[in-house]
């Protein structure tokens, strides 16, 4: 695969007239809003006409739309995007819609380190990274016959928890598993879930300092997942399973949350360790990332996933969170990204945060 030479592309860019572009979905309202606050022009890439929808949110509406028939057609807009000095902000849906391979070869300066994709999309590599950083992950059960506790079965590549199920015994596992799809079995961790939203800057040293750059904690959320989060309205899971109703983990929204303050130092330790390890493994995770955790009754964190870019869980905080307000008023993750680009452009450091 040809590695993109971001410096080559940037030489033709007018750094005082950069445009921020993203796909019209996921966290785009927040990204456009944040970019506008920092004085950037914005482009929304959308499948089909979405103007009517964005008209309803003038402060989150892109200045211009690139309308495509299917997301993969974005690649045809490379020249137009370059003419606009566009920098792409990838969010979860952006990568999902474009496909990993096309995302890696998309010839437009992109915020963050694209190499991280190889480490987060492969559950084995993800474990090497996170456990290598000293984090505790849920135990993995290699042989389904050894299921002797509640487990969660996750299909590979299934986004947003689709199709995942809980089993407590081998027989239950056999009843539910779709054997044609690759899967992982993890200990189901009992506790409360926190999805921690960090921002790592390799070029600014004004927050929680690391060997290079610094991290911030911008916010945290809890996902609202159907049907697991409401299942108790109908009865216990056991009762429902008897009549063939199984809870699922499909995300439908995000709930703002804060954590016991005494746990925050640990939150920073974990974020710092993940970044330090990423610097060793692949040159560093840049910008926003999220650790998806369960805190047990012993107040221990178990990390079941990392998302290496802006997550939709930051959407409750378009106008700041209880944490980001302590850094700068009215700062969303989308705005923080725009600020980083602005700072890098001003200090000729764009190649340190774009790939
Ligand atoms: P995404 O890529 O959108 O983060 P995903 O499809 O990779 O999602 P996970 O985030 O790994 O899936 O899991 C989906 C949901 O399942 C989580 O939000 C959480 O509620 C639950 N979950 C995952 N792993 C565990 C675990 N080990 N113990 C308890 N609950 C878990």
pLDDT for 86 beyond 90: yes
Specify if 205 maps to a domain.
no
Q: How confident is the model at residue 157 (pLDDT cuts 50, 70, 90)?
A: confident
Same domain, 106 and 1: yes
Q: Is 304 among the domain residues?
A: no
Residue range 20-36, pLDDT digits in tens: 999 999 999 999 999 99
Q: What is the DSSP string of 11-65?
A: HTS-TTS-EEEEESSTTHHHHHHHHHHTT-EEEEEEES--HHHHHT-GGG--SEE
Instruction: CATH number of the domain at 12, please.
Output: 3.40.50.20
Are residues 19 and 89 located together in one domain of the fold? yes
Q: Are 338 and 40 in contact (CB under 8 A)?
A: yes
Better-predicted residue by pLDDT, 93 or 331: 331
- Considering the domain architecture, whether residues 87 and 159 belong to the same structural domain is answered as no
The reply to whether 80 and 164 lie within a common domain is no
DSSP H/E element including 215: strand 214-227
Q: CA nearest 181: which of 198, 163, 169, 167?
A: 163
Cα–Cα nearest to 89, from 22, 6, 7: 22
Q: Whose CA is nearest to atom 24 of ligand 1?
A: 304
Residues 171 and 94 both lie in one domain? no
Q: What is the mean pLDDT of the chain?
A: 95
pLDDT of the residue at 235: 87
Q: Which atom of ligand 1 is nearest to the CA of 228?
A: 20
User: 293 alpha carbon to ligand 1 midpoint, in Å?
Assistant: 9
Element (H, E) at 241: helix 237-242
Does residue 109 come out as left (phi exceeding 0), alpha (psi in the -120 to 50 range) or beta? beta
Least confident range from 52-66, 143-157, 285-299: namely: 143-157
In this predicted model, what pLDDT tens digit does every residue of 169-208 receive, in sequence order? Answer: 999 999 999 988 899 999 999 999 999 999 999 999 999 9
What is the Å distance from ligand 1's center to 101 Cα? 24
Does residue 238 sit within a domain?
A: yes
Q: Are residues 1 and 105 in the same domain?
A: yes
Q: Which residues line ligand 1 (CB under 6 A)?
A: 138, 152, 154, 158-161, 164, 186-189, 193, 223, 225, 249, 292, 294, 304-305, 307
Whether 47 is in a domain gets the answer yes
Residue 239, domain member (yes or no): yes
Q: What is the pLDDT of residue 51?
A: 93
- Give me the long-range contacts of 200-205 (CB less than 8 A, separation at least 24): 200/271, 200/275, 200/284, 200/285, 200/286, 200/287, 200/289, 201/287, 201/340, 201/353, 202/284, 202/286, 202/352, 202/353, 203/340, 203/343, 203/344, 203/347, 203/349, 203/352, 203/353, 204/340, 204/343
**Is 169 a member of any domain?**
yes
Q: How many domains does the chain have?
A: 2
Indicate the top mutation candidate among 161, 166, 189, 255 to test ligand 1's pocket, ranked by most ligand atoms within 8 A of CB. Answer: 161
Mean pLDDT, residues 114-121: 93
- Supply the pTM of this predicted model: 0.96
Give, using CA atoms, the residue closest to atom 21 of ligand 1. 249
Q: Relative to the CA of 187, which ligand 1 atom is closest? A: 27
In a domain, 353, yes or no: no
Instruction: Tell me, yes or no, whether 342 lies in a domain.
Output: no
Ligand 1 centroid distance, CA of 301 (Å)? 14
User: Do 98 and 157 share a domain, yes or no?
Assistant: no
Residue identifier of the C-alpha nearest atom 11 of ligand 1: 305
Atom of ligand 1 nearest to the CA of 305: 11
Residues 2, 94 share a domain: yes
Q: Which among 175, 193, 328 has a CA at the least distance from the CA of 254?
A: 193
Residue finishing a domain among 235, 252, 269: 252
pLDDT interval class at 2 (50, 70, 90):
low
Task: Supply the range of the domain harboring residue 235.
Answer: 144-189+225-252
Question: Are 104 and 153 within one domain?
Answer: no
328 backbone dihedrals φ, ψ, rounded to 5°:
-160, 135
């Amino acid at each position: 695969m040809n590695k993109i030479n971001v410096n080559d592309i940037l030489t033709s860019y007018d750094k005082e007239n950069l445009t921020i572009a993203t796909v019209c979905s996921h966290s785009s309202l927040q990204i456009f809003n944040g970019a506008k606050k920092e004085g950037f022009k914005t482009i929304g890439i959308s499948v089909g006409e979405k103007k009517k929808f964005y008209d309803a949110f003038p402060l989150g509406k892109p200045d211009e739309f690139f309308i495509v028939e299917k997301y993969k057609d974005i690649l045809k807009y490379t020249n137009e995007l370059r003419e606009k000095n566009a920098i792409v902000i990838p969010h979860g849906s952006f990568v999902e819609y474009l496909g990993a391979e096309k995302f890696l070869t998309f010839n437009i300066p992109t915020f963050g380190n694209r190499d991280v994709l190889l480490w987060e999309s492969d559950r084995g590599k993800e474990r090497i990274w996170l456990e290598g950083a000293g984090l505790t992950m849920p135990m993995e059960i290699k042989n389904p016959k050894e299921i002797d506790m509640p487990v969660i079965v996750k299909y590979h590549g299934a986004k947003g928890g689709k199709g995942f199920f809980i089993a407590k015994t081998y027989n239950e596992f056999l009843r539910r598993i779709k054997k044609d799809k690759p899967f992982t079995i993890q200990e189901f961790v009992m506790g409360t879930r926190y999805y921690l939203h960090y921002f790592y800057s390799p070029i600014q040293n004004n927050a929680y300092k690391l060997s290079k750059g610094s991290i911030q904690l911008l916010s945290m959320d809890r996902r609202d997942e159907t049907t697991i989060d409401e299942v108790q309205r109908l009865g216990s899971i056991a009762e429902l399973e008897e009549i063939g109703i199984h809870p699922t983990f499909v995300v439908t929204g995000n709930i703002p949350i804060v954590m016991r303050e005494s746990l925050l130092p640990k939150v920073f330790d974990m974020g710092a360790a993940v970044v330090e390890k990423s610097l060793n493994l692949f040159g560093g995770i840049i910008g926003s990332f999220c650790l998806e955790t369960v805190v047990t009754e012993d107040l221990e964190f178990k990390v079941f996933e990392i998302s290496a870019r802006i997550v939709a869980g930051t959407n409750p905080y378009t106008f700041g969170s209880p944490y980001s307000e302590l850094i700068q008023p009215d700062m969303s993750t989308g705005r923080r990204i725009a600020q980083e680009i602005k700072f890098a452009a001003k200090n000729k450091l764009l190649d340190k945060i774009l790939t």
